[in-house]
Amino acid sequence: MDGGKKAEAHKMAECVKDRSNISDFQKGLVEMAIGDESEAVKLLRRAYAEGDPWMWFARLWPVLDPLRKNQDFLKLVEEVEAAKK
């Protein structure tokens, strides 16, 4: 992504953060897409704490593959999986 497009993506992500009708899970996906793994995991953790049902698929859902090397994300997935038992 070139500099102009990256700046535009960050601007759009900021707009999404302010929307109350967009879940933290969805906001986490946006942050992941623009490369902010730390913020993405933070939002996904919040989504899990709020009981977002999409988090139950975190281990399997390919869209989250860019986060699979992130240790904080892996810990979150372990927590989600442990809660299923």
Map 3-62 to HEC letters: HHHHHHHHHHHHHHHCCCCCCHHHHHHHHHHCCCHHHHHHHHHHHHHCCCHHHHHCCCCH
Residue 1 has pLDDT above 60, yes or no: no
Q: For position 81, what pLDDT does the model report?
A: 96
Q: What is the pLDDT of residues 35-84, one digit of tens each?
A: 999 999 999 999 999 999 999 999 999 999 999 999 999 999 999 999 98
Q: What is the pLDDT of residue 23?
A: 93
**Amino acid 2: pLDDT:** 63
| Residue ranges per structural domain of the chain | 3-84
Q: Tell me the pTM.
A: 0.84
Q: State the distance between the two ends of the chain, measured CA to CA, in whole angstroms.
A: 41
